[in-house]
Structure formats: structure tokens, C-alpha cells
């Protein structure tokens, strides 16, 4: 059957059976949000980065305990907050990088755009808003309905009177344009 | 499948819109090429930036009345009040507020929200870590503490805990240390019977007093300490 499933639930099932790549797919989408929250607490890039890694490692090692009562994001968010609270209360505490690692080595986070350099830049929100305003109307509408209004592809298809596949393609193209904009305009002017 | 098609799958996965077969395919592709995950992180970054600065204030809409009713201060920012409330509520050994479990639970949830985390980032001075260290103090002595004599105001030092002083049933903590906070005026925070009082001396030290005290009582203790 070609019916969209709750992607996270399917991945969780695999991850609980030890599929690390399924777990990676689950957590990496939240990496910038977790880093942003931790940076808000700690105000130090390296600490935010280290605690983000520790959050993911702790989530992996405790995955059996996640029962799905809350969303997966809420669960890892709480892990991150608790780590940050403990870290702030006892700043001398060393972050355990080795003993908690998934494969007995550092947890590698994907690198392309550097999340921390973006998260700590307060001006980017208005840059993003300005760029979205300048995008082609169809891409802009699909992206805003998804990203800001939280509409499903099917709902967007109904509103914009086009096939779901077209909506999916427009949202993807909008995201690519934004990523390319940040790569060219922001990185190259730094 | 072309690279662009795989990237489109990643975008749809980000939106939780893949079919099971597409998800399995994507999983296998990322297994072969883990660098594809950076695309996923980039999409997450766009969402994070678009959320920035939004909803930061909403936490106060929910809990500001609770927080501000309980803290009296001569210099307490709203965000600092929230953080102090967290410290008190997160102490498992002492019920600092006589509120119902339901209210405390609601506040805990609000405090652990993403909006709260962003709010904390607005705290702009070093006072809170200092106050936290006073609340969490476990009897650690700070240099000049041992020279403190509060007997003129009726407080005697606890033998096994040099930073603490007792007067009848009253127990207070007093610390004297270099003023690294940069404050030049006295500051205090009071909730119920608990008072935290910071007093910067002219010779570059900071006196911190914490316990069941009134401001009037502290104002009698300070002259003894700076003699």
C-alpha cells in the first residue's frame, strides 16, 4: 500500500532493535533545534555542541525506556534540558565524551551548514524572512503552509489545487533555494 | 534514483510524509552514504531559524503571575525570577512552595518548555549562578567565612558547618568572598520566609546571606560583618 505512515514510529521500531542508522535519521532532523535550546542555556558553542552529542548518546542508550507517551522530540528535548540543568548547576562537571559513546568513539554529527554559527546569529531570522518573500509565489506558498502553518501535503494540495507530488516537489525546491542562499550569501560574506 | 530525487525524499521525510517503502529506501541510501544526513540537518536548521525569537515571551503569559507573586526583590528581572523558581521547584528534598501538586506539575512542564529555555538565554548577568551556588551550598567555606563572628547579634557558628550560623531555631548561611559579580549596590530576593541578600563592601568583597530572615534582621547583621 502506498499510504504515508508515521515515519518516526517505523524508525523507532527499527532503532529499538539496534538499527543505529534508523536512530540517526530520527535524531539528526532535530539536531539544530536541540543545539539551539542548549546554546540558549549555555551561551558557549563548544558546550552546546558537546551536550548535543551527549543528548543523542543518552537517547540511544536509553531508547528502550522511550514508550512513546510523548513525541520523540519532546523526549530528547527533556534529556537535553536535564543535561543542561545539571551542567549549569555543576559547571566543573566534565562532559563524558567517551564513556557514553555509541560505538566507543565520538558521535559524529553531519556537517554542511554549521548549525551553531547560524543559531547564534540573531539577524538570520530577518534574512530568512526577506529571502522567503522574494521566492517564486508557488514555492513560497507551499513552504509557508508547511513550515509556518504545519499543514500536511494533502491539505496544501487541496488549498493550492495541485497534486500532492507537486506540493512535495515545491517544498523541496523551496528548501534547496533557502539552503543555497545561506551557503552563498551568508557564508561568503562572513 | 537521481541525487535530486533522494534529496526530495529527505525533504518529505523531514515532513513525516514518506510511504513505508520510500522510508526503507531512504534508510538504505543513508546507510550507503551517511553524508546525506547533512541535508536533513540543513532542513532542520531552516525550521530552527524560522522559529527564532517567536514564542519567547509566551512562557511569561502562563507563569509570570505565579512567579512574581512569590518573589519580592529590589532587582529581579522576570527571567531571573523564572530561573530562581526552577531552582526551588527542582529541589527534591524540600517543598519550597505550599502549592498543590497539580500547580507545581503545570509549572514544571512550562519551565521545561522550549520557550523557557529561550527565555533563560535572555538572562544577562552573573548573579544567578552566584545565587544558585548559595542555594546549593553544602557547607563549603569561602576564605573569610572563618573570621566571621555574629555573636553580637546572637548567632553562633555551627561547629561542623563553618558557613552556617544558628540562633534558636533559625539557621542562616553567610559567605564573604571577592566581589567578582561587578555589583555595587545591595541586592536581595525573598520568597516566603527565605531571603537571599547580597551586600558589596567598599573593600571589594561580596557578603552573601541566605536563610529564614527578614530584611530588617539582615540590616542588623551587615554592620557586624563589615566592622
pLDDT in tens, A18-50: 999 999 999 988 888 888 888 877 778 888 888
pLDDT at residue B109, rounded to an integer: 54
The reported pLDDT for the residue numbered A15 is 93
Give the integer Cα–Cα distance in Å for A174 and B11.
Answer: 10
Q: How far apart are the first and last CA of chain B?
A: 81
Higher per-residue confidence, B193 vs A27 = A27
Pairwise CB contact (< 8 Å): B19 & A4: yes
Q: How many C-beta neighbours within 10 Å does residue A119 have?
A: 23
> Per the CB < 8 Å rule, is B48 touching A32?
yes
At residue B126, the pLDDT reads 58
- Candidate from A22, A78, A119 with C-beta closest to B27: A22
- Give the pLDDT band (50/70/90) at residue A83: confident
CB contact under 8 A, B44 and A124: no
Window A:86-115, CB contacts with B under 8 Å: 88-89, 91, 109-113, 115
Q: Which of B27, B42, B46 sits opposite A25 (nearest CB)?
A: B27
Pick among 1.10.940.10, 1.10.10.10, 2.40.10.10, 3.90.79.10: CATH of A121-190 = 1.10.10.10
pLDDT value of residue A6: 80
Any chain B CB within 8 A of the CB of A11?
yes
Tell me what pLDDT residue B53 has.
39
Question: What is the per-residue pLDDT for A109?
Answer: 58
Measure B47 CA to nearest chain A CA, in Å.
7
- Coil, strand, or helix at residue B200? strand
* Residue B5 in contact with partner chain A when CB distance is under 8 A: no
Fold topology of A1-112: Rna Polymerase Sigma Factor; Chain: A (1.10.1740)
What is the share, in percent, of chain B residues with pLDDT greater than 90?
15
Residue B214 at interface with chain A, using a CB cutoff of 8 Å:
no
- Phi, then psi, of B73 in degrees rounded to 5: -155, 160
Domain boundaries along the sequence of chain B: 3-51, 58-124, 130-225
pLDDT of residue A119: 60
More confident residue, B116 or A85: A85
Let me know if domain B130-225 sits in CATH 3.30.200.
yes
Mean pLDDT of all residues belonging to chain B: 70
Ordered by start, the domain boundaries in chain A are 1-112, 121-190
Measured in degrees and rounded to the nearest 5, phi and psi for residue B209 equal -125, 135
- Weakest mean pLDDT among A100-104, B15-19, B157-161: A100-104
| A44 interfacial to chain B (CB closer than 8 Å) | no
**Torsion, CA B211, CA B212, CA B217, CA B221, rounded to 10:** -20
Q: Does A2 touch chain B (CB under 8 A)?
A: yes
Position A175 pLDDT exceeds 80 = yes
Q: Is B138 on the interface with A (CB under 8 A)?
A: no
Say what the alpha-carbon torsion angle A31, A33, A37, A40 is, to the nearest 10 degrees: 100
Phi first, then psi: give them for residue A7, nearest 5 degrees: -55, -40
Region B103-124: mean pLDDT is: 50
Distance CA B161, CA B157 (A): 8
Contact flag A36-B14 (C-beta cutoff 8 Å): no
B123 touches chain A (CB under 8 A): no
Q: Residues of B numbered 29-48 whose beta carbons fall under 8 angstroms of chain A's beta carbons: which are they?
A: 30-31, 34-35, 37-48
pLDDT in tens, A118-137: 665 667 777 888 889 999 99
Amino acid at each position: 500500500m502506498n499510504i504515508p505512515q508515521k515515519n518516526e514510529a517505523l524508525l523507532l521500531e527499527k532503532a529499538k532493535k539496534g538499527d543505529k542508522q534508523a536512530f540517526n535519521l530520527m535524531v539528526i532532523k532535530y539536531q539544530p533545534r536541540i543545539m539551539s535550546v542548549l546554546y540558549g542555556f549555555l551561551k558557549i558553542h563548544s558546550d552546546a555542541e558537546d551536550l548535543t552529542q551527549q543528548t543523542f548518546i543518552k537517547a540511544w542508550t536509553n531508547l528502550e525506556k522511550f514508550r512513546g507517551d510523548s513525541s520523540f522530540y519532546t523526549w530528547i528535548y527533556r534529556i537535553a534540558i536535564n543535561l543542561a540543568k545539571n551542567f549549569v548547576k555543576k559547571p566543573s562537571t566534565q562532559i563524558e565524551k567517551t564513556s557514553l559513546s555509541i560505538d566507543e568513539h565520538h558521535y559524529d554529527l553531519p556537517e554542511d551548514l554549521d548549525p551553531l554559527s547560524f543559531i547564534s546569529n540573531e539577524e538570520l531570522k530577518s534574512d530568512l524572512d526577506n529571502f522567503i518573500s522574494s521566492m517564486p509565489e508557488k514555492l513560497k506558498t507551499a513552504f509557508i503552509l508547511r513550515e509556518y502553518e504545519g499543514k500536511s501535503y494533502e491539505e496544501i494540495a487541496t488549498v493550492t489545487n495541485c497534486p500532492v507530488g507537486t506540493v512535495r516537489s515545491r517544498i523541496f525546491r523551496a528548501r534547496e533555494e533557502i539552503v543555497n542562499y545561506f551557503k552563498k550569501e551568508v557564508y561568503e560574506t562572513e | 534514483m537521481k541525487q535530486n530525487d533522494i534529496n526530495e525524499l529527505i525533504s518529505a521525510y523531514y515532513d513525516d510524509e514518506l510511504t513505508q517503502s520510500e522510508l526503507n529506501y531512504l534508510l538504505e541510501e543513508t546507510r550507503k552514504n551517511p553524508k546525506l544526513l547533512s541535508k536533513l540537518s540543513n532542513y532542520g536548521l531552516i525550521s530552527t531559524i524560522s522559529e527564532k525569537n517567536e514564542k519567547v515571551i509566551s512562557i511569561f503569559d502562563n507563569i509570570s503571575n505565579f512567579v512574581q507573586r512569590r518573589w519580592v526583590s529590589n532587582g529581579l528581572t522576570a527571567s531571573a525570577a523564572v530561573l530562581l523558581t526552577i531552582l526551588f521547584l527542582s529541589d527534591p528534598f524540600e517543598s519550597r512552595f505550599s502549592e498543590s501538586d497539580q500547580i507545581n506539575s503545570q509549572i514544571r512542564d512550562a519551565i521545561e518548555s522550549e520557550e523557557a529555555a529561550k527565555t533563560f538565554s535572555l538572562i544577562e548577568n552573573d548573579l544567578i549562578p552566584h545565587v544558585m551556588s548559595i542555594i546549593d551550598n553544602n557547607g563549603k567555606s569561602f576564605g573569610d567565612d572563618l573570621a566571621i563572628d555574629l555573636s553580637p547579634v546572637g548567632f553562633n557558628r555551627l561547629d561542623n558547618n563553618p558557613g552556617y550560623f544558628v540562633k534558636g531555631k533559625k539557621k542562616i548561611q553567610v559567605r564573604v568572598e571577592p566581589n567578582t559579580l561587578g555589583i555595587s549596590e545591595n541586592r536581595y530576593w525573598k520568597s516566603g520566609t527565605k531571603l537571599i541578600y547580597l551586600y558589596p563592601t567598599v573593600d571589594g568583597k561580596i557578603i552573601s546571606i541566605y536563610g529564614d530572615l527578614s530584611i530588617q534582621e539582615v540590616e542588623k547583621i551587615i554592620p557586624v560583618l563589615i566592622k
